[in-house]
Amino acid sequence: MRSILLTGGAGFIGSNLVRHLVRGKGVSVVNYDKLTYAGNLESLRDLEGDPRHVFVHGDIVDREHLGAVLAKYSPDAVMHLAAESHVDRSIDGPGEFISTNVVGTFTLLEAVRGYWNSLDKGAAESFRFLHVSTDEVYGSLGSDGFFTETTPYAPNSPYSASKAASDHLVRAYRHTYGLPVLTTNCSNNYGPSQFPEKLIPLMILNALDGKPLPVYGTGKNVRDWLYVEDHCEALWTVLRNGRPGEVYNIGGNNERTNLQVVHTICDLLDALRPRPDSLSYREQIRFVQDRPGHDLRYAIDASKIQRELGWAPRETFETGMKKTVEWYLENLEWCRRVQDGRYQRERLGLSSVNGIPEREENIL
């Protein structure tokens, strides 16, 4: 593949994927992004001047603009990552999630369908539309078991419900129109250039600032953690070798409780950037009111993608976390620049439930 239209390429996973494709695979990328609060071209400053990266400022609900961009750049594939993605924000304001994740995906599918129908036979046969989704569409697991590609959908938040709806739309466009789509459902990503509202960067920055490290409930909620560079390679593998119409779950084989994650961050900071008073950063941990409807456990069975396409994660949780903490310590100025004043690490996701504004720092 020579050229890819990638939506959401200024976000966390998207910016890492743009760099992975341009520098790692030699692919030209048209980066289509709305530049919301969590999308920032600071994450791609190192690609300035590279002719293989073209940025287009646009919104996926704009059908006419999408059609014009597709016609102008004639991509060989579309990788769809643009989405509102934070559960707490979806609790406070679900409308934006429906607009972007559901209506936006529908609009993009319509634009891509029109473009695909205009291609000659050979180009149409090789074209692919990759929809990047989440394991949260499956709901919550108990203490055992794993999500597979056939697990029934049971979303429990406005965010996961909006992503589930978009997954169903993508599937319908395959079965109704024959569009050559692929869908991936991934576990929790972490790594460089993640916006500081998410658990890992938030804990790192709060720790360094001497602020409390707020952990929801008892901290026993479990997530499977996937290093973002491993995810990028998995997406490339699915795009190149996946079978149209198929779903592939992507996981890191790294289940940890939220409290274990925070402990790992504290221990790494203790070694890499000790507190002036020589105490452990664990002293800053505070347990706070749990998120409404907080899913207990997510865990991915990624055996299908490994068996059929030969992908497996390279990073362990320990190696990935060390790289992540080191990146944030070396890029504190980036963290300052991407927080433009609208988000100051305040707690989200409770005001609409209790009717009382919350100012506790937010975590995943």
Angle at 114 between CA 110 and CA 119, to 5 degrees: 145
Helix (H) or strand (E) holding 131: strand 128-134
Q: Does residue 131 come out as left (phi exceeding 0), alpha (psi in the -120 to 50 range) or beta?
A: beta
Q: Which residues are catalytic?
A: 135-136, 159
Residues 6+ apart with CB under 8 A from 78: 4, 5, 6, 7, 108, 112, 128, 129, 130
> How far out from the chain centre does Cα 272 lie?
27
Strands 255-257 and 222-227 come out as: antiparallel
- Spatial strand order in the sheet of 53-57: 53-57, 28-33, 3-7, 77-80, 128-134, 181-186, 247-250
Angle at which helix 63-73 crosses helix 104-118, to 10 degrees, equals 40
Neighbours of 73 (CB within 10 A): 16
Q: 267 and 230 in contact (C-beta within 8 Å)?
A: no
Show Cβ contacts of residue 95 under 8 Å, excluding neighbours closer than 6 positions: none
What is the rounded CA–CA span in Å between residue 46 and residue 43? 8
Q: Determine which helix (DSSP H) or strand (DSSP E) holds 183, and give its type and residue range.
A: strand 181-186
Number of H helices, E strands in the chain: 15, 12
Quick one: DSSP state of residue 77? E
Single-letter residue type at 166? S
